[in-house]
Amino acid sequence: MAKETEISQLGEFGLIDRLTKDIELKNPQSLRGVGDDCAVMEYKDTEVLVSTDLLVEGVHFDLTYVPLKHLGYKAAVVNFSDVYAMNGRPRQIVVSLAISKRFTVEHIEALYSGIRLACEIYGVDLVGGDTTTSRSGLVISITVIGDAPKDKIVYRDGARDTDLICVSGDLGAAYMGLQLLEREKAASNGQADFQPEFGGKEYLLERQLKPEARKDIIEAIDRAGIVPTSMMDISDGLSSELLHICKASHTGCRVYEDRIPIDYQTALMAEELNMNLVTAAMNGGEDYELLFTVPLHAHETVKKIPGIRVIGHITKPELGCALVTRDGNEMEIRAQGWNPLAQAASAASEQPGQSGEAK
């Protein structure tokens, strides 16, 4: 095995040069990238979209089972997803890292290889960032810049009574992938030669470790001439995102249990772990699918688009937000998805000085 390089041998600027060499800018909005005090971008006739995401080791990811390349890819993609959730297109990212001494240059190169792969696949330019020292672990901060025509930006507050509620893909798989990884981590108990049991569950692992942003769905609804009335990506769980849209739009909703799309591997894993499948699909999070609403008259158009499922409808606010079960009963929808601040507070109260569980 080749000897790994300590970051101190290169220094901050040497590390940045090594990580960003040979980057070619592909978007016409990107005039200047890495190499100056600021990146330079120019947007004409469109609205600029900006979002940022902070990932902290021990809170958002666990390097016991998350490969660094996968982590880099996921860190970039979840930011792209935020821009797609506004019906926009991501164009540039800036990446900042806080790195502890246990990481070598090769470790950070692996992380960056995942970030750069995501940028290549989604057509996004890496135009800058920063690095610094961390005393506790790895911290990743990514800011994404995108754009959208003013008349096509979709907010959370546009849903109206009788609108259809739609989701892309399937739900709950990423959460089940996390449960699988945590189970095998516990079973390994630090054994160097431990062989995890992942056979037949590859889809669940992929959904947790290497999610994809739904660029294809945004392009499909655009080709169909549909501009959603509201939209979010499902990062914290379907329940939480539905309540966000309904609160912002001053509406209620009805979602039907038998219409929630769930993959077969997800169902098998829930049975194996003796977990409620619908609860996992509603509250698991990290699916990065799109949740959006469209006017009732768009029903025939939207149902023809592959990968989209109509799961319910928007109601008047006084009717509240409910899940309609298979036997016709209504259950109030509550936000039970991922809340990192609550998780951290709980962990701190139980074990002072330790971070919350990975998600």
Walk along the chain (359 residues) and give the pLDDT tens digit of each residue.
567 777 666 665 666 666 667 768 888 888 877 666 677 888 988 999 999 999 999 999 999 999 999 999 999 999 999 999 999 999 999 999 999 999 998 999 999 999 999 999 999 999 988 889 998 899 999 999 999 999 999 999 999 999 999 999 999 999 999 999 999 998 888 777 777 888 899 999 999 999 999 999 999 999 999 999 999 999 999 999 999 999 999 999 999 999 999 999 999 999 999 999 999 999 999 999 999 999 999 999 999 999 999 999 999 999 999 999 999 999 999 987 545 545 544 444 443 333 333 32
Residue among 102, 146, 121, 75 at smallest CA distance from 7: 102
Residue 18 confidence (pLDDT): 67
95 forms beta bridges with: 129, 142
Structure tokens belonging to residue 300: 């025939």
Convert the pLDDT of each residue in 194-231 to its tens digit. Answer: 778 888 999 999 999 999 999 999 999 999 999 999 99
> Whole-angstrom Cα distance, residue 93 to residue 115?
10
231 three-class SS? strand
Residue 336 confidence (pLDDT): 73
| Cα dihedral 80, 81, 82, 84 sign | positive
Residue 47 confidence (pLDDT): 94
> Whole-angstrom Cα distance, residue 215 to residue 122?
8
The sheet carrying 47-56 orders its strands as 47-56, 139-148, 89-99, 125-133
- Displacement of CA 321 from its chain's centroid (Å): 24
pTM of structure: 0.88
Residue 188 confidence (pLDDT): 86
Q: What domains, with CATH codes, occur in the chain?
A: 10-152 (3.30.1330.10), 164-189+204-337 (3.90.650.10)
Residue 171 confidence (pLDDT): 98
